[in-house]
Amino acid sequence: MAQFPRRHSIWSNATLTTAASPNTVGPLQNLGRQLNPVVIATLDVQAAPSGSSPNLLVTVYAWTSANRRVQVGQFTAVTGILSTPQRITIQNVLEENLEVEAVVTGSGASFTQVYCDLLMSSPDA
């Protein structure tokens, strides 16, 4: 049986700034929509942010059949280097397309060395 990739690399060593906020990636095909679908999302920030009061908020959205965006997951807000990556598990994601959005706030705030991945699985398969 052929194995299909079930991973979307959202940001790999990316720089996210207030000037380019929000930074939205999508639509991304939900690669694991069958048989109890689960999305595991990870977020890592490996360098200290710059600017005044930097804040990074990353949210995962799904697109409904009526072409409306609905929030399905959100990471805890990041204000500095993460000692360990954040991970969230989103259950029963049946929508066909996903989107990831990063919002950076603060005066001249910038986050570098940002990594985010989505892994789709069907644990019942």
CATH classification of the domain holding 52: 2.60.120.200
Taking phi over 0 as left and psi of -120 to 50 as alpha, with beta for the rest, 65 belongs to: alpha
CA–CA distance, 35 with 46 (Å, rounded to integer) = 35
| Cis previous bond, 54, omega within 30 | no
Confidence (pTM): 0.88
CA–CA distance, 28 with 7 (Å, rounded to integer) = 10
Whether 92 has a pLDDT exceeding 90, the answer reads no
- Does 13 fall in a domain? no
Range of the domain at 90: 22-121
pLDDT tens for each residue of 42-61: 999 999 999 999 999 999 99
pLDDT tens for each residue of 6-33: 788 999 999 999 998 899 998 887 766 6
- Does 3 fall in a domain? no
- Please count the structural domains in the chain: 1
Q: What is the percentage of the chain residues whose pLDDT exceeds 70?
A: 88
- Does 88 fall in a domain? yes
- Does 60 fall in a domain? yes
What pLDDT is attached to residue 34?
Answer: 60
